[in-house]
Protein backbone atom coordinates (compact mmCIF):
# COMPACT_ATOMS: atom_id res chain seq x y z
CA UNK A 1 0.00 0.00 0.00
CA UNK A 2 1.36 3.50 -0.78
CA UNK A 3 2.97 5.42 1.99
CA UNK A 4 0.50 7.55 3.91
CA UNK A 5 -2.35 6.48 1.59
CA UNK A 6 -5.81 7.78 2.42
CA UNK A 7 -7.41 10.26 4.78
CA UNK A 8 -5.47 11.05 7.92
CA UNK A 9 -7.84 10.91 10.89
CA UNK A 10 -5.44 11.45 13.79
CA UNK A 11 -2.53 10.04 15.77
CA UNK A 12 -2.31 7.36 18.44
CA UNK A 13 0.95 6.95 20.37
CA UNK A 14 2.45 9.37 17.87
CA UNK A 15 1.54 7.12 14.91
CA UNK A 16 -0.46 8.71 12.05
CA UNK A 17 -3.73 6.83 11.40
CA UNK A 18 -5.11 6.77 7.85
CA UNK A 19 -8.36 5.54 6.30
CA UNK A 20 -7.86 4.30 2.75
CA UNK A 21 -10.64 5.14 0.29
CA UNK A 22 -11.59 1.44 0.13
CA UNK A 23 -12.34 1.56 3.87
CA UNK A 24 -15.48 3.60 3.30
CA UNK A 25 -16.80 1.04 0.83
CA UNK A 26 -16.28 -1.97 3.08
CA UNK A 27 -17.63 -0.06 6.11
CA UNK A 28 -20.86 0.65 4.22
CA UNK A 29 -21.13 -2.93 2.95
CA UNK A 30 -20.58 -4.46 6.39
CA UNK A 31 -23.10 -2.12 7.98
CA UNK A 32 -25.77 -2.81 5.34
CA UNK A 33 -25.18 -6.57 5.35
CA UNK A 34 -25.31 -6.89 9.11
CA UNK A 35 -28.34 -4.64 9.47
CA UNK A 36 -30.14 -6.76 6.83
CA UNK A 37 -29.27 -9.98 8.69
CA UNK A 38 -30.61 -8.53 11.93
CA UNK A 39 -33.99 -8.11 10.27
CA UNK A 40 -34.15 -11.90 10.04
CA UNK A 41 -32.60 -12.82 13.38
CA UNK A 42 -34.30 -10.09 15.42
CA UNK A 43 -37.58 -9.26 13.66
CA UNK A 44 -38.89 -7.56 16.81
CA UNK A 45 -36.33 -4.76 16.46
CA UNK A 46 -37.13 -1.46 14.82
CA UNK A 47 -35.21 -0.19 11.78
CA UNK A 48 -33.45 2.33 14.01
CA UNK A 49 -32.22 -0.47 16.32
CA UNK A 50 -30.97 -2.60 13.44
CA UNK A 51 -29.06 0.25 11.83
CA UNK A 52 -27.66 1.39 15.18
CA UNK A 53 -26.32 -2.09 15.88
CA UNK A 54 -25.02 -2.39 12.30
CA UNK A 55 -23.12 0.89 12.58
CA UNK A 56 -21.81 0.08 16.05
CA UNK A 57 -20.64 -3.40 14.99
CA UNK A 58 -18.85 -2.00 11.92
CA UNK A 59 -17.18 0.75 13.94
CA UNK A 60 -16.06 -1.74 16.61
CA UNK A 61 -14.81 -4.13 13.93
CA UNK A 62 -12.48 -1.50 12.54
CA UNK A 63 -11.55 -0.40 16.06
CA UNK A 64 -10.56 -4.04 16.64
CA UNK A 65 -8.39 -3.96 13.50
CA UNK A 66 -6.76 -0.77 14.73
CA UNK A 67 -6.10 -2.36 18.14
CA UNK A 68 -4.57 -5.36 16.33
CA UNK A 69 -2.18 -3.11 14.37
CA UNK A 70 -1.37 -0.99 17.42
CA UNK A 71 -0.34 -4.17 19.24
CA UNK A 72 2.23 -4.85 16.53
CA UNK A 73 3.33 -1.23 16.68
CA UNK A 74 3.81 -1.08 20.44
CA UNK A 75 6.16 -4.07 20.39
CA UNK A 76 8.02 -2.65 17.39
CA UNK A 77 8.52 0.69 19.15
CA UNK A 78 9.71 -1.17 22.24
CA UNK A 79 12.60 -2.39 20.09
CA UNK A 80 13.16 1.14 18.76
CA UNK A 81 11.69 0.33 15.34
CA UNK A 82 9.80 3.45 14.19
CA UNK A 83 6.25 2.97 12.93
CA UNK A 84 5.56 5.35 10.04
CA UNK A 85 1.77 4.90 9.87
CA UNK A 86 -1.24 2.64 10.30
CA UNK A 87 -3.75 2.41 7.45
CA UNK A 88 -7.17 0.75 7.55
CA UNK A 89 -8.42 -0.47 4.17
CA UNK A 90 -10.71 -2.98 2.50
CA UNK A 91 -8.72 -6.05 3.62
CA UNK A 92 -8.11 -4.92 7.18
CA UNK A 93 -5.17 -2.89 8.38
CA UNK A 94 -1.44 -2.51 7.97
CA UNK A 95 1.19 -0.99 10.24
CA UNK A 96 4.15 0.29 8.21
CA UNK A 97 7.40 -0.07 10.13
CA UNK A 98 10.43 1.70 8.72
CA UNK A 99 12.87 -1.19 9.06
CA UNK A 100 12.92 -4.92 9.68
CA UNK A 101 13.53 -6.36 13.18
CA UNK A 102 17.12 -7.01 14.24
CA UNK A 103 16.57 -10.62 15.27
CA UNK A 104 14.24 -13.59 14.92
CA UNK A 105 13.09 -13.10 18.51
CA UNK A 106 12.01 -9.52 17.83
CA UNK A 107 10.20 -10.60 14.66
CA UNK A 108 8.32 -13.32 16.55
CA UNK A 109 7.18 -10.99 19.32
CA UNK A 110 6.06 -8.24 16.94
CA UNK A 111 4.17 -10.71 14.73
CA UNK A 112 2.45 -12.69 17.50
CA UNK A 113 1.22 -9.54 19.28
CA UNK A 114 -1.52 -9.00 16.68
CA UNK A 115 -3.28 -12.39 16.90
CA UNK A 116 -2.94 -12.40 20.69
CA UNK A 117 -4.62 -8.99 20.88
CA UNK A 118 -7.48 -10.22 18.66
CA UNK A 119 -7.96 -13.33 20.82
CA UNK A 120 -8.04 -11.02 23.86
CA UNK A 121 -10.73 -8.86 22.24
CA UNK A 122 -12.66 -11.98 21.23
CA UNK A 123 -12.74 -13.14 24.84
CA UNK A 124 -13.88 -9.71 26.00
CA UNK A 125 -16.73 -9.53 23.50
CA UNK A 126 -17.86 -13.10 24.26
CA UNK A 127 -17.90 -12.13 27.95
CA UNK A 128 -20.13 -9.17 27.08
CA UNK A 129 -22.48 -11.52 25.24
CA UNK A 130 -22.52 -13.91 28.21
CA UNK A 131 -23.50 -11.26 30.77
CA UNK A 132 -26.21 -9.57 28.69
CA UNK A 133 -29.69 -10.85 27.95
CA UNK A 134 -30.21 -12.72 24.70
CA UNK A 135 -31.91 -10.61 22.06
CA UNK A 136 -30.60 -7.30 23.36
CA UNK A 137 -28.46 -4.95 21.30
CA UNK A 138 -25.40 -5.36 23.51
CA UNK A 139 -25.74 -9.14 23.37
CA UNK A 140 -25.84 -9.08 19.55
CA UNK A 141 -22.81 -6.79 19.34
CA UNK A 142 -20.83 -8.87 21.83
CA UNK A 143 -21.54 -12.17 20.11
CA UNK A 144 -20.82 -10.80 16.61
CA UNK A 145 -17.56 -9.07 17.53
CA UNK A 146 -16.49 -12.11 19.53
CA UNK A 147 -16.73 -14.35 16.46
CA UNK A 148 -15.21 -11.72 14.16
CA UNK A 149 -12.12 -11.25 16.33
CA UNK A 150 -11.78 -15.00 16.81
CA UNK A 151 -11.85 -15.46 13.04
CA UNK A 152 -9.46 -12.53 12.48
CA UNK A 153 -6.89 -13.94 14.89
CA UNK A 154 -7.12 -17.47 13.51
CA UNK A 155 -6.96 -16.37 9.89
CA UNK A 156 -3.90 -14.23 10.57
CA UNK A 157 -2.11 -17.26 12.00
CA UNK A 158 -2.03 -18.97 8.60
CA UNK A 159 1.69 -19.45 7.80
CA UNK A 160 1.54 -17.35 4.65
CA UNK A 161 3.70 -14.26 4.39
CA UNK A 162 2.88 -11.38 4.84
CA UNK A 163 0.15 -12.52 7.26
CA UNK A 164 1.13 -12.54 10.93
CA UNK A 165 1.39 -16.32 10.78
CA UNK A 166 3.78 -15.99 7.85
CA UNK A 167 5.95 -13.60 9.84
CA UNK A 168 5.88 -15.98 12.80
CA UNK A 169 6.86 -18.77 10.40
CA UNK A 170 9.69 -16.59 9.03
CA UNK A 171 10.95 -15.85 12.53
CA UNK A 172 11.11 -19.58 13.31
CA UNK A 173 12.96 -20.38 10.07
CA UNK A 174 15.20 -17.36 10.68
CA UNK A 175 16.00 -18.60 14.17
CA UNK A 176 16.86 -22.07 12.84
CA UNK A 177 18.83 -21.07 9.74
CA UNK A 178 20.29 -17.80 11.08
CA UNK A 179 19.68 -16.48 7.56
CA UNK A 180 17.18 -13.62 7.20
CA UNK A 181 17.18 -13.63 3.40
CA UNK A 182 16.60 -17.37 3.09
CA UNK A 183 13.86 -17.36 5.72
CA UNK A 184 12.03 -14.54 3.92
CA UNK A 185 12.20 -16.39 0.62
CA UNK A 186 10.75 -19.53 2.24
CA UNK A 187 7.98 -17.55 3.98
CA UNK A 188 7.11 -15.69 0.76
CA UNK A 189 6.85 -18.97 -1.15
CA UNK A 190 4.61 -20.33 1.61
CA UNK A 191 2.45 -17.23 1.29
CA UNK A 192 2.06 -17.75 -2.44
CA UNK A 193 1.06 -21.40 -1.93
CA UNK A 194 -1.59 -20.47 0.64
CA UNK A 195 -2.87 -17.66 -1.58
CA UNK A 196 -3.31 -20.04 -4.52
CA UNK A 197 -5.12 -22.51 -2.24
CA UNK A 198 -7.49 -19.76 -1.03
CA UNK A 199 -8.22 -18.65 -4.58
CA UNK A 200 -8.96 -22.21 -5.68
CA UNK A 201 -11.15 -22.94 -2.66
CA UNK A 202 -13.04 -19.68 -3.10
CA UNK A 203 -13.78 -20.42 -6.75
CA UNK A 204 -14.89 -23.95 -5.89
CA UNK A 205 -17.27 -22.64 -3.22
CA UNK A 206 -18.61 -20.01 -5.61
CA UNK A 207 -19.28 -22.59 -8.34
CA UNK A 208 -21.03 -24.92 -5.90
CA UNK A 209 -23.13 -22.06 -4.56
CA UNK A 210 -24.09 -21.04 -8.09
CA UNK A 211 -25.18 -24.57 -8.98
CA UNK A 212 -27.38 -24.78 -5.87
CA UNK A 213 -28.73 -21.23 -6.20
CA UNK A 214 -26.76 -20.24 -3.11
CA UNK A 215 -24.78 -17.14 -2.26
CA UNK A 216 -21.64 -16.99 -4.42
CA UNK A 217 -20.32 -13.81 -2.78
CA UNK A 218 -18.56 -15.62 0.06
CA UNK A 219 -16.55 -17.79 -2.30
CA UNK A 220 -15.66 -14.90 -4.58
CA UNK A 221 -14.59 -12.83 -1.58
CA UNK A 222 -12.29 -15.63 -0.40
CA UNK A 223 -10.73 -15.76 -3.88
CA UNK A 224 -10.33 -11.99 -3.85
CA UNK A 225 -8.50 -12.13 -0.51
CA UNK A 226 -6.32 -14.92 -1.88
CA UNK A 227 -5.47 -12.75 -4.89
CA UNK A 228 -4.48 -9.90 -2.59
CA UNK A 229 -2.27 -12.18 -0.50
CA UNK A 230 -0.65 -13.56 -3.66
CA UNK A 231 0.20 -10.04 -4.80
CA UNK A 232 1.60 -9.13 -1.38
CA UNK A 233 3.65 -12.35 -1.19
CA UNK A 234 5.10 -11.73 -4.64
CA UNK A 235 6.01 -8.17 -3.68
CA UNK A 236 7.72 -9.45 -0.54
CA UNK A 237 9.72 -11.92 -2.63
CA UNK A 238 10.80 -9.18 -5.03
CA UNK A 239 11.80 -6.97 -2.11
CA UNK A 240 14.05 -9.62 -0.61
CA UNK A 241 15.62 -10.25 -4.00
CA UNK A 242 16.28 -6.52 -4.24
CA UNK A 243 17.75 -6.61 -0.73
CA UNK A 244 20.11 -9.33 -1.87
CA UNK A 245 21.05 -7.37 -4.98
CA UNK A 246 22.16 -4.40 -2.86
CA UNK A 247 24.12 -6.52 -0.39
CA UNK A 248 27.74 -5.39 -0.32
CA UNK A 249 27.17 -2.26 -2.41
CA UNK A 250 27.88 1.30 -1.31
CA UNK A 251 26.29 4.64 -2.14
CA UNK A 252 28.98 5.26 -4.78
CA UNK A 253 27.73 2.15 -6.61
CA UNK A 254 24.10 3.28 -6.83
CA UNK A 255 24.38 7.05 -7.18
CA UNK A 256 24.29 8.94 -10.44
CA UNK A 257 27.09 11.39 -11.15
CA UNK A 258 24.89 13.26 -13.60
CA UNK A 259 23.71 16.36 -11.79
CA UNK A 260 21.01 18.01 -13.93
CA UNK A 261 20.29 21.50 -12.70
CA UNK A 262 17.77 24.27 -13.19
CA UNK A 263 17.69 27.94 -12.20
CA UNK A 264 15.63 28.85 -9.18
CA UNK A 265 13.77 31.68 -10.91
CA UNK A 266 12.17 29.64 -13.71
CA UNK A 267 8.46 28.95 -13.52
CA UNK A 268 6.96 25.56 -12.82
CA UNK A 269 5.58 25.68 -16.35
CA UNK A 270 9.15 25.84 -17.65
CA UNK A 271 10.30 23.19 -15.23
CA UNK A 272 7.51 20.88 -16.36
CA UNK A 273 8.69 21.23 -19.96
CA UNK A 274 12.24 20.36 -18.86
CA UNK A 275 11.02 17.22 -17.08
CA UNK A 276 9.00 16.20 -20.14
CA UNK A 277 11.96 16.82 -22.46
CA UNK A 278 14.62 14.93 -20.50
CA UNK A 279 12.56 12.42 -18.50
CA UNK A 280 14.55 13.36 -15.39
CA UNK A 281 12.37 13.79 -12.33
CA UNK A 282 14.94 15.31 -9.96
CA UNK A 283 17.04 18.46 -10.50
CA UNK A 284 19.48 20.50 -8.46
CA UNK A 285 18.49 24.13 -8.13
CA UNK A 286 21.44 26.51 -8.56
CA UNK A 287 22.03 30.24 -8.37
CA UNK A 288 25.31 31.87 -9.39
CA UNK A 289 26.89 28.44 -9.51
CA UNK A 290 25.86 27.60 -5.92
CA UNK A 291 23.48 24.84 -4.83
CA UNK A 292 20.38 26.32 -3.22
CA UNK A 293 17.94 23.42 -3.24
CA UNK A 294 16.44 20.33 -4.85
CA UNK A 295 13.44 20.23 -7.18
CA UNK A 296 11.44 17.07 -7.92
CA UNK A 297 8.55 16.08 -10.12
CA UNK A 298 6.60 15.19 -6.96
CA UNK A 299 6.92 18.80 -5.75
CA UNK A 300 5.77 19.98 -9.18
CA UNK A 301 2.71 17.72 -9.15
CA UNK A 302 1.74 18.97 -5.68
CA UNK A 303 0.99 22.41 -7.16
CA UNK A 304 -2.32 22.88 -9.05
CA UNK A 305 -1.73 22.96 -12.80
CA UNK A 306 -3.28 26.40 -13.20
CA UNK A 307 -0.66 27.90 -10.84
CA UNK A 308 2.41 26.64 -12.70
CA UNK A 309 2.77 29.70 -14.89
CA UNK A 310 2.90 32.07 -11.90
CA UNK A 311 4.90 29.95 -9.42
CA UNK A 312 8.69 29.74 -9.39
CA UNK A 313 10.81 26.70 -8.68
CA UNK A 314 12.24 28.47 -5.63
CA UNK A 315 8.76 28.67 -4.09
CA UNK A 316 8.29 24.90 -3.91
CA UNK A 317 11.80 23.39 -3.94
CA UNK A 318 13.39 21.67 -0.96
CA UNK A 319 15.91 24.19 0.34
CA UNK A 320 19.56 23.28 0.78
CA UNK A 321 19.29 23.55 4.56
CA UNK A 322 16.59 20.89 4.54
CA UNK A 323 18.48 18.43 2.35
CA UNK A 324 19.58 15.13 3.81
CA UNK A 325 22.82 13.76 2.43
CA UNK A 326 24.94 10.64 2.26
CA UNK A 327 28.61 9.82 1.77
CA UNK A 328 29.91 7.62 -1.06
CA UNK A 329 31.19 5.06 1.47
CA UNK A 330 27.82 4.48 3.21
CA UNK A 331 26.36 0.98 2.59
CA UNK A 332 23.55 1.12 0.04
CA UNK A 333 21.17 -0.86 2.26
CA UNK A 334 21.65 1.59 5.14
CA UNK A 335 20.94 4.48 2.80
CA UNK A 336 17.77 2.81 1.54
CA UNK A 337 16.56 2.35 5.12
CA UNK A 338 17.27 6.02 5.85
CA UNK A 339 15.34 7.09 2.77
CA UNK A 340 12.40 4.89 3.79
CA UNK A 341 12.45 6.24 7.35
CA UNK A 342 12.57 9.85 6.17
CA UNK A 343 9.94 9.13 3.51
CA UNK A 344 12.04 10.70 0.74
CA UNK A 345 12.84 9.59 -2.80
CA UNK A 346 16.20 11.25 -3.38
CA UNK A 347 19.33 12.19 -1.46
CA UNK A 348 22.43 14.22 -2.26
CA UNK A 349 25.86 12.58 -1.99
CA UNK A 350 28.55 14.81 -0.50
CA UNK A 351 32.22 14.24 0.23
CA UNK A 352 34.74 16.80 1.43
CA UNK A 353 32.03 19.43 1.35
CA UNK A 354 31.47 18.91 -2.38
CA UNK A 355 28.37 17.56 -4.08
CA UNK A 356 29.49 14.51 -6.08
CA UNK A 357 26.27 12.70 -6.90
CA UNK A 358 22.61 12.07 -6.35
CA UNK A 359 20.81 8.93 -5.22
CA UNK A 360 17.19 8.46 -6.24
CA UNK A 361 14.83 5.53 -5.99
CA UNK A 362 15.08 5.27 -9.76
CA UNK A 363 18.88 5.01 -9.66
CA UNK A 364 18.66 2.32 -6.97
CA UNK A 365 16.04 0.39 -8.94
CA UNK A 366 18.20 0.48 -12.06
CA UNK A 367 21.11 -1.08 -10.19
CA UNK A 368 18.86 -3.68 -8.56
CA UNK A 369 17.26 -4.65 -11.88
CA UNK A 370 20.62 -4.94 -13.62
CA UNK A 371 22.11 -7.15 -10.90
CA UNK A 372 18.99 -9.32 -10.77
CA UNK A 373 19.07 -9.72 -14.57
CA UNK A 374 22.69 -10.85 -14.25
CA UNK A 375 21.79 -13.33 -11.51
CA UNK A 376 23.64 -11.55 -8.71
CA UNK A 377 20.66 -11.08 -6.40
CA UNK A 378 21.08 -12.75 -3.05
CA UNK A 379 24.63 -13.98 -3.67
Catalytic-residue membership of 69: yes
The helix or strand, by DSSP H or E, that contains position 355, with its residue range, turns out to be strand 354-360
Q: What is the widest separation between alpha-carbon atoms in the chain?
A: 80
- Give the integer Cα–Cα distance in Å for 209 and 218: 9
Instruction: Please check whether residue 1 lies inside any domain of the structure.
Output: no
Instruction: Please check whether residue 378 lies inside any domain of the structure.
Output: no
pLDDT band of residue 92 (cuts 50, 70, 90) is confident
Residue that finishes a domain, picked among 210, 228, 246: 246
pLDDT band of residue 377 (cuts 50, 70, 90) is very low
pLDDT score of 5: 58
375: pLDDT strictly greater than 80? no
Based on the fold, state whether residues 344 and 324 are members of the same structural domain.
Answer: yes
**Residue 324, burial from CB neighbour count under 10 angstroms (0-12, 13-18, 19+):** middle
Residue that finishes a domain, picked among 225, 246, 267: 246
DSSP assignment of 27-85 equals HHHHHHHHHHHHHHH-TTS-HHHHHHHHHHHHHHHHHHHHHHHHHHHHHHHHTT--EEE
Based on the fold, state whether residues 233 and 267 are members of the same structural domain.
Answer: no
Total structural domains in the chain?
2
3: pLDDT strictly greater than 70? no
pLDDT band of residue 127 (cuts 50, 70, 90) is very high
- Give the integer Cα–Cα distance in Å for 66 and 12: 10
CA distances to 37, 38, 113, 268, 314 from 94, rounded to whole Å, are 29, 30, 14, 36, 37
Based on the fold, state whether residues 223 and 326 are members of the same structural domain.
Answer: no
Q: Which of 69, 107, 241, 346 is catalytic?
A: 69
How do 15-19 and 318-319 pair as beta strands?
unpaired
pLDDT score of 313: 93
Of 140-144, 158-162, 287-291, 324-328, which gets the smallest average pLDDT? 287-291
8 A C-beta contact, residue 262 and residue 313: yes
**Which domain covers residue 54, as residue numbers?**
7-246
CA angle 225, 21, 299 (to 5 degrees): 120
Based on the fold, state whether residues 270 and 229 are members of the same structural domain.
Answer: no
8 A C-beta contact, residue 169 and residue 161: yes
Amino acid sequence: MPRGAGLKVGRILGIPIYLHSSWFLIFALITYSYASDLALTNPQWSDAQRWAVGLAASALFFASLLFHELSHSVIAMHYRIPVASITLFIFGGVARITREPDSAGQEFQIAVAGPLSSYLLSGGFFLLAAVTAHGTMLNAIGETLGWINLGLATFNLLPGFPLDGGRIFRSIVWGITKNYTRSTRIAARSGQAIAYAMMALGLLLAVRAYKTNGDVVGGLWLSFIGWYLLTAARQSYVQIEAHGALQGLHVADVMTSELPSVARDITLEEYGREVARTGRRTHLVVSDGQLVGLMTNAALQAVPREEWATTSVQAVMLSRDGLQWATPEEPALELLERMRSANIDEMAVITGGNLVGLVTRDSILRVVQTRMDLGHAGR
